[in-house]
Amino acid sequence: MGADDKLSGVTTPDAPFLHAARREPTPYTPVWLMRQAGRYLPEYRALRERHGFLELCKHPDAAAEVTLQPVERLGVDAAILFADILLLVEPLGVGLEFTKGEGPVIRRPVRTEAQVAGLTPIDVEAAVPFVFEAARRVRAALGGRVPLIGFAGAPFTVASYVVEGGPSRDYLHTKRLMYEAPEAWSRLMAILVDATARYLNGQLAAGAQAVQLFDSWVGVLGPEDYRAFVLPHMRELFRALAPGAPVIHFGTGTAALLPLMRAAGGDVIGLDWRVDLDAGWAAAGHDRAVQGNLDPAVLLARPAYIRQRVKDVLDRAGGRPGHIFNLGHGVLQQTPVEHVQALVELVHEMSAR
């Protein structure tokens, strides 16, 4: 029994996902999908008819059920824990809500030095025990079939929600805080770095075998801003993570930031669909694994076209150890389930070695 497997009491199969994350040879390219549990799945929609989003996140049995749905239906090579990147900010008292059609909303955004000064450190263990319990239940239910991935929002992306009040096009409030009150920005990031490290380490202790940091909106920054306002905090976060489990570092719109993301940390660099996989891998460095990077919209097309695009991604990976197939962002709600099933089968079939 390996060190990864003591929690479940069974031996995890020779998991291609974990081997690829460590740049070791695999019999085929492993594939999992961001937002692989979501509204495109009828079984998930059935649950959402009975439960609100936060309710699903906060009930370990329900969260575990959602996590397992795509493993059963799709045959993916990893499960990713069902949760949300903003669960950690609820204790900050910013008025987090998930509204129908709008997504996450922060009713009391934090935009001034005084507001940042009023924030207190997050007691992670008290705030999200349900996430850790869901991880334990999923790990046991998987029975070693595939690894479990935990995740968190990266500090910049979470901070941008807290400052903007929700998603934004230009992130002007966030940039103004960074530029005009850098000490306040650093304090906000320090609170989030500490909480995120505790959150991810808690997931690993509960059974996750890898974790992913979603820096979904960091692509709004240029390299100089990333270097000044994000890189030092990300380095601190990576240093605080428990050693041993692979860490995936993902962002969107990050083609110009990939060398800096590599410098920040991560065993696997996630690539979005706006960069060719071979160019992205070269920018991230071949001493890192990469994850990606099919455009999620391709899954709206017919399987014959999906096959062409899967071939292109695999060809660009060139059979080099260290490629985990994924989309360049999450599965779109409008995606036919059978197209997602076809994608997983195609990746396995076309990459068999």
Give me the active site residues, please. Answer: 35, 39, 48, 84, 161
Instruction: Please give the torsion angle defined by the CA atoms of residues 151, 80, 161 and 105, in that order, rounded to the nearest 10 degrees.
Output: -140
Pairing of strands 148-153, 79-80: parallel
How many Å is the Cα radius of gyration of the chain?
19
Question: How is residue 94 annotated by DSSP?
Answer: S
Q: In the Cβ-directed half-sphere of 144, how many Cα atoms lie within 13 Å? A: 14
Q: Among all chains, which residue has been given the structure tokens 């997504």?
A: 103
Three-state SS at 250 = strand
Six-digit token pair at 346?
Answer: 């195609």
Q: For the chain, how far is it from start to end, CA to CA, in angstroms? A: 27
Q: Cα separations (Å) of 13 from 2, 4, 50, 138, 270? A: 10, 11, 35, 16, 24
The DSSP-derived string for 290-338 is: EEEEE-GGGGGS-HHHHHHHHHHHHHHHTT-S-EEEEESSPPPTT--HH
Contact present, 29 and 100 (Cβ < 8 Å): no
- Helices and strands, number each (H, E), in the chain: 16, 9
Q: In the Cβ-directed half-sphere of 104, how many Cα atoms lie within 13 Å? A: 26
Distance CA 182, CA 184 (A): 5
The DSSP-derived string for 6-60 is: TTTTSPPP--HHHHHHTT---SS--B--TT-SSTTSHHHHHHHHHS-HHHHHH-H
Distance CA 12, CA 208 (A): 12
